[in-house]
A = this chain, B = another copy of it.
Amino acid sequence: MAGGWQDIRDEVLRRIQTRRWPPGSQIPNEAELAGEFGVARATVNRALQALAEDGWLERRRRAGTRVAAAPQRRARLAIPLIRQEIEAGGHAAAHRLLGTAPGPAPAAVTAALGLAADAEMIQVRTLWRADERPFAVEDRWVNLSGAPGFDSAPLDRISANEWLVRHAPFSHGTLEYAAETAEPELADLLGCAPGAPVLVLERHTFGPSAPVTFMRLSHAPGHSLKLEI
């Protein structure tokens, strides 16, 4: 007996994946499954809830539980610190502060964060390296009222990324990956040819009471986002 409800989850998942319970079909109700597996109904409930949360099952009261018509798996994308991402690849991470600039952010940035155009912000530009090779250029705007104290962070010693994770409250945000081609200035920083394809991550971060930061991370060519599902 290893897993309790997880065993039941796995067995149900097996029946879905092997099409013993094909997409769209209704599966036995909780009480029946509890009888079959010899467990309490609450145990079956816990297993089926987990599968529903992962998109395998659709459950409705009275109507019962059925296998999702197109069981779309949901990958879990862990969003690491840039440093961790580099180190997870087996490289030594280093960051170099390219510059900071207090002052107004571009209108597109303040608008997306829901801020007034004259909100007090700081721009920070950072070059990340993996084993001395350019890894990514980070362009960031930080909203001071959403990240109090950021203006006195020692950005030469701790990256803006890490300072914010450690000190700024965080509640939700958006992520967007897109492909772009490297402008000459970016290409120079990344050590690639102008026009090379770069994977760009844009991220908006909001705290419980105020927007925190907008970040644009332009990865060196060859970088990819890998997921297991």
Say how far A69's CB is from chain B's closest CB, in angstroms.
Answer: 8
Of the listed stretches A91-99, A104-112, A129-137, A168-176, name the one at the interface; the rest are far from the partner chain: A168-176
Q: Which residue of B lies closest to A80 (CB)?
A: B72
Let me know if B224 and A176 touch, CB within 8 A.
Answer: yes
- Residues of A10-59 whose CB lies within 8 A of B: 14, 17-19, 23, 55
Which listed residue (B72, B74, B179) contacts A221, Cβ 8 A? B179
Instruction: State whether A78 touches B70 (Cβ < 8 A).
Output: no
Q: How many copies does the complex hold?
A: 2
CB–CB B77/A81 < 8 A: no
Is A226 in contact with B174, judged by CB distance below 8 angstroms?
yes
Closest partner residue, chain B, to A69 (CB atom)? B166
Question: Is B79 in contact with A166, judged by CB distance below 8 angstroms?
Answer: no
Which of B18, B176, B178, B229 lies in contact with A208, CB distance below 8 A? B18
16 residue pairs of the A-B complex, CB under 8 angstroms, read A17-B169, A55-B78, A70-B166, A77-B77, A77-B227, A174-B228, A175-B228, A177-B199, A177-B224, A178-B199, A178-B222, A178-B223, A179-B179, A179-B199, A181-B181, A197-B198
9 additional A-B residue pairs with CB within 8 Å, beyond A17-B171, A179-B219, A180-B197: A17-B170, A18-B169, A70-B84, A70-B165, A73-B170, A74-B77, A75-B79, A179-B197, A197-B198
